[in-house]
Structure 1
């Protein structure tokens, strides 16, 4: 006589397919942006007041034309000091911003985006749709996404 199972009838375990977690799910949509004609003094005040490390520079059509960062502002301050000049209030974002900007797709998987951060050594990536700025993802946004995930759902 065999051993009787007290667990009852076993049913096949259905694996629940997890939806990919996309950059667009975690990107910041309400951005502080700058214009190319803004003074660096204004940018510095905005960065400090909002506790951000940089932001996209857009034209009047909300098209991305560059990125301005704390590093760009510090470089300007350092160069002024090196040449023993006062910080020029007429210096504009256009003179200091980085114009070659890497962007990523909002439909990219969050893990692929994390890998992109590691490869590029950037702190933020703008996200464009039809040439217009729609958001930005930062390294901190990637960390927030990771905290919300369970260890067994990482794929």
Structure 2
């Protein structure tokens, strides 16, 4: 005779309460941002000082125009300092930032965002609302959400 259920009989009152765990609940809103005209030396200094691996690039209207990362800064270093060449005068964020930026919605489920991290190989996603940058979700933010959530309540 086989086992029919490992869980036993359930009470009608034990129905799972559906509550979404949203990006808005875990995104960082106090961001270090950069401008297109900032120098890469300034960016490198900020990344080291704040122990971050990159940040959004915004215009004067706080609209997202790109992302600059450690990798982008390393490209600059490899192009000039590695070959013992003088630093490029035009070593601005605008020259090295990535402009094709994937964003996510603040109302997306955090664990759907986790899947997007896996499939895109990104470390962070800016959160934009009506064209304005309102936050950023990192892989670490998803881990924080996972720790706080009971395994039976994941959606």
TM-score, structure 1 normalization: 0.88
Structure 1 residue 109: Cα displacement: 0.5
| 2:33–2:56 contact (8 Å) kept in structure 1 | yes
Tell me the equivalent position of 1:3.
none
| 1:39–1:89 contact (8 Å) kept in structure 2 | no
* Structure 1 residue runs of 4 or more that deviate by more than 2 Å after TM superposition: 11-14, 81-84, 86-90
> What is the aligned-residue RMSD (CA, Å)?
1.4
Distance in 2, Cα, partners of 1:14 & 1:147: 23
| 2:56–2:66 contact (8 Å) kept in structure 1 | yes
Distance in 2, Cα, partners of 1:26 & 1:20: 12
The answer to whether the aligner puts 1:68 opposite 2:64 as a matched pair is no
Structure 1 residue 152: Cα displacement: 1.8
Q: 3-state DSSP class of the match of 1:13?
A: helix
Q: 3-state DSSP class of the match of 1:145?
A: helix
| 1:41–1:89 contact (8 Å) kept in structure 2 | no
Larger radius of gyration, structure 1 or 2?
A: 1
Tell me the equivalent position of 1:142.
142
TM-score, structure 2 normalization: 0.88
Distance in 2, Cα, partners of 1:98 & 1:82: 22
- Of 106-115 and 77-86, more deviation after overlay is shown by 77-86
Structure 1 residue 24: Cα displacement: 0.6
Q: How many residues align?
A: 145
The answer to whether the aligner puts 1:120 opposite 2:128 as a matched pair is no
Distance in 1, Cα, partners of 2:25 & 2:114: 14
Gaps of 5+ in 1: 1-10
